[in-house]
Chain A
Protein backbone atom coordinates (compact mmCIF):
# COMPACT_ATOMS: atom_id res chain seq x y z
CA UNK A 1 0.00 0.00 0.00
CA UNK A 2 1.27 3.49 -0.75
CA UNK A 3 1.78 5.11 2.63
CA UNK A 4 1.82 8.60 1.12
CA UNK A 5 -1.73 8.16 -0.11
CA UNK A 6 -2.89 6.44 3.05
CA UNK A 7 -1.44 9.04 5.35
CA UNK A 8 -3.69 11.97 4.62
CA UNK A 9 -3.94 14.60 7.32
CA UNK A 10 -7.22 13.27 8.69
CA UNK A 11 -5.89 9.74 9.14
CA UNK A 12 -2.72 11.10 10.68
CA UNK A 13 -4.61 13.19 13.24
CA UNK A 14 -6.92 10.28 14.11
CA UNK A 15 -3.97 7.92 14.61
CA UNK A 16 -2.06 10.53 16.64
CA UNK A 17 -5.00 11.08 18.94
CA UNK A 18 -5.57 7.33 19.30
CA UNK A 19 -1.92 6.97 20.32
CA UNK A 20 -2.34 9.51 23.10
CA UNK A 21 -0.90 12.64 21.50
CA UNK A 22 -2.72 15.86 22.32
CA UNK A 23 -5.08 16.93 19.54
CA UNK A 24 -4.59 20.54 18.52
CA UNK A 25 -0.96 20.62 19.66
CA UNK A 26 0.88 22.78 17.08
CA UNK A 27 3.76 20.31 17.32
CA UNK A 28 1.64 17.84 15.32
CA UNK A 29 2.34 19.86 12.17
CA UNK A 30 6.05 19.17 12.56
CA UNK A 31 5.36 15.51 13.23
CA UNK A 32 3.08 15.25 10.20
CA UNK A 33 5.81 16.65 7.96
CA UNK A 34 8.33 14.20 9.42
CA UNK A 35 6.06 11.20 9.03
CA UNK A 36 5.27 12.19 5.43
CA UNK A 37 8.98 12.45 4.76
CA UNK A 38 10.13 9.23 6.43
CA UNK A 39 7.43 6.57 6.21
CA UNK A 40 7.14 6.30 2.42
CA UNK A 41 10.81 5.31 2.25
CA UNK A 42 10.12 2.28 4.42
CA UNK A 43 7.67 0.89 1.89
CA UNK A 44 10.56 -0.44 -0.18
CA UNK A 45 10.22 -3.60 1.95
CA UNK A 46 7.08 -4.40 -0.03
CA UNK A 47 9.27 -5.07 -3.07
CA UNK A 48 10.71 -8.17 -1.41
CA UNK A 49 9.31 -11.63 -2.02
CA UNK A 50 8.55 -12.76 1.52
CA UNK A 51 6.49 -15.78 0.62
CA UNK A 52 7.33 -18.66 2.97
CA UNK A 53 9.59 -16.41 5.07
CA UNK A 54 8.89 -16.46 8.79
CA UNK A 55 9.63 -13.41 10.92
CA UNK A 56 12.95 -13.14 12.75
CA UNK A 57 12.34 -11.41 16.04
CA UNK A 58 16.03 -11.10 16.93
CA UNK A 59 19.24 -12.42 15.41
CA UNK A 60 20.52 -14.12 18.53
CA UNK A 61 17.83 -16.73 18.98
CA UNK A 62 18.99 -19.22 16.37
CA UNK A 63 22.62 -19.11 17.40
CA UNK A 64 22.10 -19.32 21.14
CA UNK A 65 19.71 -22.26 20.89
CA UNK A 66 22.25 -24.39 19.02
Chain B
Protein backbone atom coordinates (compact mmCIF):
# COMPACT_ATOMS: atom_id res chain seq x y z
CA UNK B 1 0.00 0.00 0.00
CA UNK B 2 1.16 3.52 -0.81
CA UNK B 3 2.61 4.90 2.46
CA UNK B 4 1.00 8.32 2.03
CA UNK B 5 -2.41 6.63 1.66
CA UNK B 6 -1.84 4.89 5.00
CA UNK B 7 -1.62 8.31 6.66
CA UNK B 8 -5.09 9.30 5.48
CA UNK B 9 -6.91 6.16 6.56
CA UNK B 10 -9.04 6.15 9.68
CA UNK B 11 -8.20 4.04 12.71
CA UNK B 12 -11.15 1.84 11.83
CA UNK B 13 -9.86 1.27 8.28
CA UNK B 14 -6.28 0.69 9.43
CA UNK B 15 -7.48 -1.71 12.09
CA UNK B 16 -9.27 -3.80 9.47
CA UNK B 17 -6.14 -3.90 7.32
CA UNK B 18 -3.98 -4.89 10.29
CA UNK B 19 -6.33 -7.75 11.15
CA UNK B 20 -6.27 -8.97 7.56
CA UNK B 21 -2.43 -8.70 7.60
CA UNK B 22 -2.59 -6.31 4.65
CA UNK B 23 -0.53 -3.72 6.45
CA UNK B 24 1.70 -4.07 9.49
CA UNK B 25 2.14 -1.74 12.49
CA UNK B 26 5.75 -1.17 11.40
CA UNK B 27 4.61 -0.05 7.94
CA UNK B 28 2.00 2.19 9.52
CA UNK B 29 4.46 3.84 11.91
CA UNK B 30 7.14 4.25 9.23
CA UNK B 31 4.60 5.87 6.89
CA UNK B 32 3.63 8.35 9.59
CA UNK B 33 7.22 9.14 10.52
CA UNK B 34 7.93 9.86 6.84
CA UNK B 35 4.86 12.08 6.67
CA UNK B 36 5.94 13.94 9.80
CA UNK B 37 9.42 14.37 8.35
CA UNK B 38 7.94 15.96 5.23
CA UNK B 39 5.60 18.33 7.10
CA UNK B 40 7.72 19.38 10.08
CA UNK B 41 8.72 21.88 11.23
CA UNK B 42 6.34 23.61 8.80
CA UNK B 43 3.17 22.76 10.70
CA UNK B 44 4.97 22.69 14.05
CA UNK B 45 2.54 20.11 15.43
CA UNK B 46 5.05 18.30 17.64
CA UNK B 47 7.15 19.40 20.59
CA UNK B 48 8.73 15.99 21.18
CA UNK B 49 8.88 13.20 18.60
CA UNK B 50 9.51 9.59 19.70
CA UNK B 51 10.55 7.72 16.54
CA UNK B 52 12.73 5.01 18.12
CA UNK B 53 10.22 4.26 20.85
CA UNK B 54 7.34 4.19 18.35
CA UNK B 55 9.20 1.84 16.00
CA UNK B 56 10.13 -0.49 18.85
CA UNK B 57 6.50 -0.60 19.97
CA UNK B 58 5.39 -1.22 16.38
CA UNK B 59 7.77 -4.17 16.09
CA UNK B 60 6.45 -5.60 19.36
CA UNK B 61 2.87 -5.10 18.13
CA UNK B 62 3.71 -6.87 14.89
CA UNK B 63 4.99 -9.89 16.81
CA UNK B 64 1.91 -9.94 19.04
CA UNK B 65 -0.53 -9.60 16.17
CA UNK B 66 1.42 -12.19 14.19
CA UNK B 67 0.90 -14.57 17.12
CA UNK B 68 -2.84 -13.88 17.00
CA UNK B 69 -2.99 -11.65 20.07
CA UNK B 70 -4.92 -8.57 18.93
CA UNK B 71 -5.61 -6.24 21.82
CA UNK B 72 -8.42 -4.32 20.12
CA UNK B 73 -9.17 -1.93 17.27
CA UNK B 74 -6.40 0.49 18.26
CA UNK B 75 -3.66 -2.13 18.24
CA UNK B 76 -0.87 -0.83 15.99
CA UNK B 77 -2.54 2.58 15.43
CA UNK B 78 -0.32 5.68 15.85
CA UNK B 79 -1.44 8.63 17.93
CA UNK B 80 -0.18 11.79 19.60
CA UNK B 81 -0.77 13.36 22.99
CA UNK B 82 -1.04 17.04 23.80
CA UNK B 83 2.15 17.87 25.66
CA UNK B 84 0.54 18.06 29.08
CA UNK B 85 -0.33 14.37 29.46
CA UNK B 86 2.15 12.47 31.60
CA UNK B 87 3.91 9.54 29.99
CA UNK B 88 6.48 7.79 32.15
CA UNK B 89 9.96 8.82 30.96
CA UNK B 90 8.76 11.23 28.27
CA UNK B 91 9.30 14.98 28.65
CA UNK B 92 6.13 16.95 29.28
CA UNK B 93 6.53 20.72 28.76
CA UNK B 94 2.99 22.06 29.01
CA UNK B 95 4.01 24.21 26.06
CA UNK B 96 6.43 26.37 28.04
CA UNK B 97 10.24 26.38 28.26
CA UNK B 98 9.88 26.63 32.02
CA UNK B 99 9.15 22.89 32.03
CA UNK B 100 11.43 21.91 29.14
CA UNK B 101 13.34 19.46 31.31
CA UNK B 102 10.42 17.99 33.24
CA UNK B 103 10.12 14.22 32.79
CA UNK B 104 7.26 12.57 34.69
CA UNK B 105 7.79 9.23 36.37
CA UNK B 106 4.21 8.11 35.98
CA UNK B 107 1.65 7.59 33.23
CA UNK B 108 -1.57 9.52 32.86
CA UNK B 109 -4.56 7.17 33.07
CA UNK B 110 -5.41 7.66 29.40
CA UNK B 111 -1.83 7.10 28.19
CA UNK B 112 -1.78 3.88 30.14
CA UNK B 113 -5.15 2.73 28.76
CA UNK B 114 -4.13 3.52 25.19
CA UNK B 115 -0.84 1.65 25.59
CA UNK B 116 -2.71 -1.36 26.99
CA UNK B 117 -5.02 -1.13 23.98
CA UNK B 118 -1.98 -1.39 21.70
CA UNK B 119 -1.99 2.17 20.35
CA UNK B 120 1.46 3.53 19.47
CA UNK B 121 2.57 6.93 20.75
CA UNK B 122 4.39 8.95 18.07
CA UNK B 123 5.09 12.02 20.16
CA UNK B 124 3.93 14.95 22.25
CA UNK B 125 1.95 17.65 20.49
CA UNK B 126 2.26 21.42 20.59
CA UNK B 127 -0.25 23.54 22.47
CA UNK B 128 -1.07 27.05 23.57
CA UNK B 129 1.23 27.55 26.61
CA UNK B 130 -0.23 25.86 29.71
CA UNK B 131 -3.38 25.25 27.60
CA UNK B 132 -4.41 28.80 28.49
CA UNK B 133 -5.60 30.21 25.17
CA UNK B 134 -7.85 29.26 22.23
CA UNK B 135 -5.66 30.20 19.24
CA UNK B 136 -2.68 27.84 19.15
CA UNK B 137 -0.04 30.56 19.34
CA UNK B 138 3.11 29.73 21.27
CA UNK B 139 6.13 32.00 21.69
CA UNK B 140 8.32 29.31 23.29
CA UNK B 141 7.84 26.42 20.85
CA UNK B 142 6.48 28.36 17.89
CA UNK B 143 2.94 28.85 16.64
CA UNK B 144 0.98 25.90 15.32
CA UNK B 145 0.01 26.17 11.63
CA UNK B 146 -3.28 25.16 10.07
CA UNK B 147 -2.90 22.44 7.38
CA UNK B 148 -5.69 24.07 5.34
CA UNK B 149 -3.67 27.30 5.15
CA UNK B 150 -0.43 27.34 7.13
CA UNK B 151 -0.51 31.14 7.39
CA UNK B 152 -3.48 30.77 9.71
CA UNK B 153 -3.99 29.59 13.28
CA UNK B 154 -5.04 26.07 14.20
CA UNK B 155 -7.23 27.14 17.08
CA UNK B 156 -6.30 25.98 20.54
CA UNK B 157 -5.32 25.13 22.96
CA UNK B 158 -4.84 21.61 21.49
CA UNK B 159 -3.60 23.10 18.21
CA UNK B 160 -0.89 20.53 17.54
CA UNK B 161 -3.46 17.78 18.04
CA UNK B 162 -5.74 19.40 15.46
CA UNK B 163 -3.04 19.98 12.84
CA UNK B 164 -1.40 16.55 13.30
CA UNK B 165 -4.69 14.68 12.80
CA UNK B 166 -5.90 16.87 9.92
CA UNK B 167 -2.60 16.54 8.04
CA UNK B 168 -2.18 12.79 8.52
CA UNK B 169 0.79 13.05 10.88
CA UNK B 170 -1.05 10.72 13.25
CA UNK B 171 -4.31 8.80 13.08
CA UNK B 172 -5.78 10.31 16.23
CA UNK B 173 -4.75 12.50 19.14
CA UNK B 174 -5.89 13.38 22.61
CA UNK B 175 -6.38 16.91 23.81
CA UNK B 176 -7.82 18.65 26.82
CA UNK B 177 -10.82 20.97 26.77
CA UNK B 178 -11.40 23.61 29.46
CA UNK B 179 -13.26 26.15 27.33
CA UNK B 180 -13.28 24.46 23.94
CA UNK B 181 -9.66 23.37 23.51
CA UNK B 182 -10.53 20.10 21.76
CA UNK B 183 -13.50 21.38 19.78
CA UNK B 184 -12.04 24.72 18.62
CA UNK B 185 -8.95 23.23 16.89
CA UNK B 186 -11.18 20.36 15.73
CA UNK B 187 -13.47 22.80 13.94
CA UNK B 188 -10.70 25.06 12.61
CA UNK B 189 -8.59 22.14 11.34
CA UNK B 190 -11.55 20.26 9.83
CA UNK B 191 -11.53 17.17 12.05
CA UNK B 192 -13.84 15.65 14.65
CA UNK B 193 -13.23 16.73 18.23
CA UNK B 194 -15.17 15.20 21.09
CA UNK B 195 -15.49 16.44 24.66
CA UNK B 196 -17.17 13.73 26.74
CA UNK B 197 -19.21 14.39 29.88
CA UNK B 198 -17.30 15.73 32.88
CA UNK B 199 -16.39 12.62 34.84
CA UNK B 200 -16.48 10.19 31.92
CA UNK B 201 -12.73 10.13 31.25
CA UNK B 202 -10.03 10.21 33.91
CA UNK B 203 -7.88 13.31 34.18
CA UNK B 204 -5.28 11.58 36.33
CA UNK B 205 -1.76 12.50 35.24
CA UNK B 206 -2.75 15.54 33.23
CA UNK B 207 -1.56 19.03 34.12
CA UNK B 208 -4.75 20.85 35.12
CA UNK B 209 -5.81 24.29 34.01
CA UNK B 210 -9.12 24.59 35.89
CA UNK B 211 -10.16 21.50 37.80
CA UNK B 212 -13.91 21.97 37.55
CA UNK B 213 -13.86 22.70 33.79
CA UNK B 214 -11.11 20.41 32.44
CA UNK B 215 -12.05 17.48 30.20
CA UNK B 216 -10.01 14.99 28.14
CA UNK B 217 -11.18 14.16 24.62
CA UNK B 218 -10.11 12.70 21.28
CA UNK B 219 -9.50 14.42 17.94
CA UNK B 220 -9.97 12.07 14.99
CA UNK B 221 -10.77 12.19 11.29
CA UNK B 222 -14.07 10.33 11.74
CA UNK B 223 -16.75 10.02 14.40
CA UNK B 224 -16.32 6.25 14.36
CA UNK B 225 -12.69 6.72 15.38
CA UNK B 226 -13.81 8.91 18.29
CA UNK B 227 -16.07 6.05 19.37
CA UNK B 228 -13.17 3.60 19.17
CA UNK B 229 -10.93 5.84 21.26
CA UNK B 230 -13.70 6.48 23.77
CA UNK B 231 -14.19 2.73 24.14
CA UNK B 232 -10.61 2.56 25.40
CA UNK B 233 -10.30 5.68 27.54
CA UNK B 234 -13.77 6.05 29.14
CA UNK B 235 -14.74 4.73 32.54
CA UNK B 236 -14.14 5.17 36.24
CA UNK B 237 -10.66 5.57 37.65
CA UNK B 238 -9.93 5.38 41.39
CA UNK B 239 -7.07 7.83 40.86
CA UNK B 240 -9.49 10.51 39.65
CA UNK B 241 -12.31 10.93 42.19
CA UNK B 242 -14.33 13.04 39.75
CA UNK B 243 -14.83 10.08 37.41
CA UNK B 244 -18.36 8.68 37.47
CA UNK B 245 -19.11 5.15 38.58
CA UNK B 246 -21.52 4.66 35.70
CA UNK B 247 -21.50 1.92 33.07
CA UNK B 248 -19.81 2.70 29.75
CA UNK B 249 -21.52 1.41 26.64
CA UNK B 250 -19.85 0.27 23.44
CA UNK B 251 -19.96 3.56 21.54
CA UNK B 252 -19.18 2.00 18.18
CA UNK B 253 -22.02 -0.50 18.44
CA UNK B 254 -24.71 2.19 18.61
CA UNK B 255 -23.32 4.48 15.92
CA UNK B 256 -25.67 3.36 13.16
CA UNK B 257 -28.98 3.78 14.95
CA UNK B 258 -29.84 6.87 12.91
CA UNK B 259 -31.53 10.13 13.75
CA UNK B 260 -35.18 9.13 13.49
CA UNK B 261 -37.10 9.99 16.68
CA UNK B 262 -34.34 12.31 17.86
CA UNK B 263 -35.29 15.88 18.70
CA UNK B 264 -32.69 18.50 17.88
CA UNK B 265 -32.97 21.98 19.38
CA UNK B 266 -31.25 25.06 18.01
CA UNK B 267 -30.92 27.73 20.71
CA UNK B 268 -32.09 30.98 19.14
CA UNK B 269 -29.40 32.78 21.14
CA UNK B 270 -26.73 31.04 19.01
CA UNK B 271 -27.53 33.10 15.94
CA UNK B 272 -28.31 36.28 17.84
CA UNK B 273 -24.63 36.29 18.85
CA UNK B 274 -22.05 37.64 16.37
CA UNK B 275 -21.12 34.93 13.85
CA UNK B 276 -19.30 34.96 10.51
CA UNK B 277 -21.84 34.60 7.65
CA UNK B 278 -19.85 31.70 6.13
CA UNK B 279 -20.08 29.78 9.40
CA UNK B 280 -23.75 30.63 9.86
CA UNK B 281 -24.61 29.45 6.36
CA UNK B 282 -22.73 26.16 6.64
CA UNK B 283 -24.19 25.38 10.05
CA UNK B 284 -27.73 26.22 8.98
CA UNK B 285 -27.38 23.86 6.02
CA UNK B 286 -26.01 21.16 8.32
CA UNK B 287 -28.96 21.56 10.68
CA UNK B 288 -31.26 21.28 7.68
CA UNK B 289 -29.52 18.02 6.82
CA UNK B 290 -30.20 16.67 10.31
CA UNK B 291 -33.88 17.28 9.58
CA UNK B 292 -33.63 15.48 6.23
CA UNK B 293 -32.07 12.53 8.04
CA UNK B 294 -35.14 12.19 10.26
CA UNK B 295 -34.47 14.40 13.29
CA UNK B 296 -37.22 16.72 14.49
CA UNK B 297 -35.52 20.11 14.47
CA UNK B 298 -36.95 23.01 16.44
CA UNK B 299 -35.89 26.36 17.81
CA UNK B 300 -35.37 26.47 21.57
CA UNK B 301 -34.22 29.13 24.00
CA UNK B 302 -31.42 29.13 26.58
CA UNK B 303 -31.80 32.61 28.09
CA UNK B 304 -28.85 32.26 30.47
CA UNK B 305 -26.46 31.51 27.61
CA UNK B 306 -25.21 35.11 27.58
CA UNK B 307 -23.97 34.69 31.15
CA UNK B 308 -21.87 31.64 30.32
CA UNK B 309 -18.69 33.55 29.45
CA UNK B 310 -18.65 35.56 32.68
CA UNK B 311 -19.38 32.52 34.84
CA UNK B 312 -16.78 30.34 33.13
CA UNK B 313 -14.15 33.11 33.10
CA UNK B 314 -14.54 33.74 36.82
CA UNK B 315 -14.18 30.05 37.65
CA UNK B 316 -11.34 29.45 35.21
CA UNK B 317 -9.32 32.49 36.27
CA UNK B 318 -9.57 31.64 39.96
CA UNK B 319 -8.77 27.95 39.50
CA UNK B 320 -5.91 28.40 37.01
CA UNK B 321 -4.32 31.10 39.13
CA UNK B 322 -4.57 28.95 42.24
CA UNK B 323 -2.79 26.10 40.49
CA UNK B 324 -0.04 28.32 39.07
CA UNK B 325 0.29 30.82 41.94
CA UNK B 326 3.79 29.75 42.94
CA UNK B 327 4.92 29.82 39.32
CA UNK B 328 3.51 33.32 38.85
CA UNK B 329 5.33 34.55 41.93
CA UNK B 330 8.68 32.96 41.15
CA UNK B 331 8.95 32.66 37.34
CA UNK B 332 6.24 34.93 36.00
CA UNK B 333 8.72 36.78 33.82
CA UNK B 334 9.54 33.54 31.97
CA UNK B 335 5.92 32.94 30.96
CA UNK B 336 4.43 33.91 27.63
CA UNK B 337 3.42 37.55 28.34
CA UNK B 338 -0.21 37.06 27.30
CA UNK B 339 -0.60 33.90 29.37
CA UNK B 340 1.14 35.64 32.25
CA UNK B 341 -1.39 38.48 32.52
CA UNK B 342 -4.28 36.02 32.20
CA UNK B 343 -2.90 34.03 35.09
CA UNK B 344 -2.11 37.07 37.23
CA UNK B 345 -5.55 38.57 36.65
CA UNK B 346 -7.00 35.63 38.55
CA UNK B 347 -5.35 37.03 41.70
CA UNK B 348 -8.04 39.70 41.66
CA UNK B 349 -10.98 37.29 41.77
CA UNK B 350 -12.22 37.23 45.35
CA UNK B 351 -13.57 34.21 47.20
CA UNK B 352 -17.07 35.68 47.05
CA UNK B 353 -16.74 36.29 43.29
CA UNK B 354 -15.81 32.63 42.89
CA UNK B 355 -18.67 31.31 45.02
CA UNK B 356 -21.14 33.60 43.28
CA UNK B 357 -19.95 32.16 39.97
CA UNK B 358 -20.48 28.64 41.32
CA UNK B 359 -24.03 29.58 42.28
CA UNK B 360 -24.60 31.04 38.83
CA UNK B 361 -23.18 27.83 37.39
CA UNK B 362 -25.87 25.83 39.19
CA UNK B 363 -28.56 28.01 37.66
CA UNK B 364 -26.93 27.75 34.22
CA UNK B 365 -26.59 23.97 34.51
CA UNK B 366 -30.20 23.37 35.50
CA UNK B 367 -31.53 25.60 32.73
CA UNK B 368 -29.41 23.66 30.23
CA UNK B 369 -30.53 20.34 31.64
CA UNK B 370 -34.15 21.49 31.45
CA UNK B 371 -33.64 22.32 27.81
CA UNK B 372 -32.36 18.81 27.23
CA UNK B 373 -35.64 17.58 28.65
CA UNK B 374 -37.41 19.23 25.71
CA UNK B 375 -34.93 17.99 23.08
CA UNK B 376 -32.29 15.26 22.86
CA UNK B 377 -29.52 17.34 21.33
CA UNK B 378 -28.52 20.96 20.90
CA UNK B 379 -27.05 21.97 17.54
CA UNK B 380 -25.17 25.04 16.37
CA UNK B 381 -21.76 26.35 15.36
CA UNK B 382 -18.63 25.20 17.17
CA UNK B 383 -16.65 28.37 16.52
CA UNK B 384 -18.12 31.63 15.19
CA UNK B 385 -15.34 32.22 12.66
CA UNK B 386 -12.96 30.27 10.42
CA UNK B 387 -9.19 30.20 10.99
CA UNK B 388 -7.52 33.62 10.80
CA UNK B 389 -3.94 34.90 10.85
CA UNK B 390 -2.10 34.96 14.19
CA UNK B 391 -1.46 38.03 16.31
CA UNK B 392 -5.00 39.40 16.25
CA UNK B 393 -6.71 40.41 19.47
CA UNK B 394 -9.85 41.74 17.76
CA UNK B 395 -11.70 40.89 14.56
CA UNK B 396 -14.17 43.08 12.71
CA UNK B 397 -17.50 41.46 11.88
CA UNK B 398 -20.88 42.79 10.79
CA UNK B 399 -21.98 43.21 14.41
CA UNK B 400 -18.85 45.10 15.50
CA UNK B 401 -15.29 44.46 16.70
CA UNK B 402 -15.05 41.19 18.59
CA UNK B 403 -12.41 40.36 21.20
CA UNK B 404 -10.91 37.19 19.79
CA UNK B 405 -10.47 35.17 22.96
CA UNK B 406 -13.97 35.21 24.43
CA UNK B 407 -15.52 35.20 20.98
CA UNK B 408 -13.82 31.96 19.93
CA UNK B 409 -15.26 30.24 22.99
CA UNK B 410 -18.81 31.59 22.90
CA UNK B 411 -20.33 28.30 21.72
CA UNK B 412 -18.01 25.80 23.39
CA UNK B 413 -17.71 27.14 26.94
CA UNK B 414 -21.32 26.48 27.98
CA UNK B 415 -20.58 22.76 27.80
CA UNK B 416 -17.52 23.05 30.02
CA UNK B 417 -19.68 24.79 32.59
CA UNK B 418 -22.39 22.14 32.40
CA UNK B 419 -20.07 19.23 31.66
CA UNK B 420 -22.49 17.99 28.95
CA UNK B 421 -20.92 15.93 26.14
CA UNK B 422 -20.29 17.92 22.95
CA UNK B 423 -18.73 17.18 19.58
CA UNK B 424 -17.57 19.15 16.57
CA UNK B 425 -17.94 17.55 13.17
CA UNK B 426 -16.88 19.12 9.82
CA UNK B 427 -19.87 20.70 8.06
CA UNK B 428 -18.46 22.75 5.21
CA UNK B 429 -15.84 25.20 4.03
CA UNK B 430 -15.61 28.94 3.58
CA UNK B 431 -14.88 30.51 0.20
CA UNK B 432 -11.20 30.56 1.23
CA UNK B 433 -11.30 26.77 1.70
CA UNK B 434 -11.29 26.88 5.50
CA UNK B 435 -13.26 24.31 7.50
CA UNK B 436 -16.40 24.99 9.53
CA UNK B 437 -17.60 22.83 12.43
CA UNK B 438 -21.09 21.82 13.57
CA UNK B 439 -21.38 21.36 17.33
CA UNK B 440 -23.81 18.84 18.80
CA UNK B 441 -24.31 18.52 22.56
CA UNK B 442 -26.34 16.08 24.60
CA UNK B 443 -27.40 15.07 28.08
CA UNK B 444 -24.80 14.13 30.68
CA UNK B 445 -23.42 10.63 30.12
CA UNK B 446 -25.38 10.20 26.88
CA UNK B 447 -22.25 10.25 24.73
CA UNK B 448 -23.74 7.52 22.55
CA UNK B 449 -26.53 9.83 21.35
CA UNK B 450 -24.11 12.64 20.50
CA UNK B 451 -21.83 10.26 18.61
CA UNK B 452 -24.59 8.56 16.64
CA UNK B 453 -26.05 11.90 15.52
CA UNK B 454 -22.63 13.19 14.49
CA UNK B 455 -21.94 9.92 12.68
CA UNK B 456 -25.24 10.02 10.80
CA UNK B 457 -24.53 13.58 9.66
CA UNK B 458 -20.91 12.83 8.74
CA UNK B 459 -21.82 9.76 6.71
CA UNK B 460 -24.42 11.71 4.73
CA UNK B 461 -21.83 14.29 3.62
CA UNK B 462 -18.36 14.28 2.05
CA UNK B 463 -16.71 16.91 4.23
CA UNK B 464 -14.70 14.37 6.21
CA UNK B 465 -13.20 12.96 3.01
CA UNK B 466 -11.58 16.22 1.97
CA UNK B 467 -7.86 16.52 2.58
CA UNK B 468 -5.88 19.66 3.35
CA UNK B 469 -3.48 20.80 0.62
CA UNK B 470 -0.27 20.14 2.59
Contact = CB atoms under 8 A, between A and B. Distances in A.
Interface string A12-48: 1001100111000001001100110011011111111
B362 A31 contact: no
B363 A53 contact: yes
A59 B418 contact: yes
Contacts of A20: 325, 328-329
Given A42-B310, A59-B365, A64 B345 contact: no
B307 A56 contact: no
Contacts of A50: 356, 359-360, 363
Given A27-B333, A41-B310, A42-B353, A55 B361 contact: yes
Interface stretch (B216-224, B242-250, B382-390): B242-250
A59 B332 contact: no
Nearest to B236: A64
Interface residues of B, number: 49
B365 A39 contact: no
A2 interface: no
B200 to A, nearest CB: 8
Contacts, number: 120
B365 A45 contact: no
Interface of A is mostly: helix
A19 B318 CA distance: 13
A16 B89 CA distance: 38
Contact of A53 (B211, B243, B362): B362
Contact of B347 (A7, A19, A59, A61): A19
A58 B363 CA distance: 13
Contacts of A10: none
Contacts of A30: 337, 341
Contacts of B365: 56, 59
Contact of A54 (B197, B362, B420): B362
Contacts of B212: 57-59
B353 A60 contact: no
A63 B306 CA distance: 25
A55 B359 contact: yes
Contacts of A43: 310
A48 B211 CA distance: 24
Contact of B211 (A15, A19, A31, A58): A58
A41 B308 CA distance: 12
Given A55-B355, A55-B358, A45 B347 contact: no
Contacts of A48: 304, 307, 360, 363
A58 B198 contact: yes
B419 A35 contact: no
A21 B313 contact: no
Contacts of B418: 59
B357 interface: yes
A21 B347 contact: yes
A63 B345 contact: no
Interface string B320-350: 0000010011001100010011101101110
Nearest to A19: B347
A58 B419 contact: yes
Nearest to B337: A30
B447 to A, nearest CB: 12
A63 B244 contact: yes
Contacts of A19: 325, 329, 347
Nearest to B415: A59
Contact of B242 (A45, A46, A47, A64): A64
B311 interface: yes
B85 interface: no
Contacts of B353: 42
Contacts of A21: 328-329, 332, 344, 347
B413 to A, nearest CB: 13
Contacts of B197: 60, 63
Contacts of B12: none
Given A21-B329, A59-B365, A34 B356 contact: no
Nearest to A30: B341
A64 B246 contact: yes
A38 B419 contact: no
B87 to A, nearest CB: 25
Nearest to A39: B348
B270 interface: no
A4 to B, nearest CB: 12
11 contacts: A20-B329, A50-B360, A50-B363, A53-B360, A54-B362, A56-B361, A57-B358, A58-B211, A58-B242, A59-B198, A63-B199
Given A48-B307, A58-B242, A63-B444, 5 more contacts: A20-B328, A45-B310, A45-B360, A50-B359, A55-B355
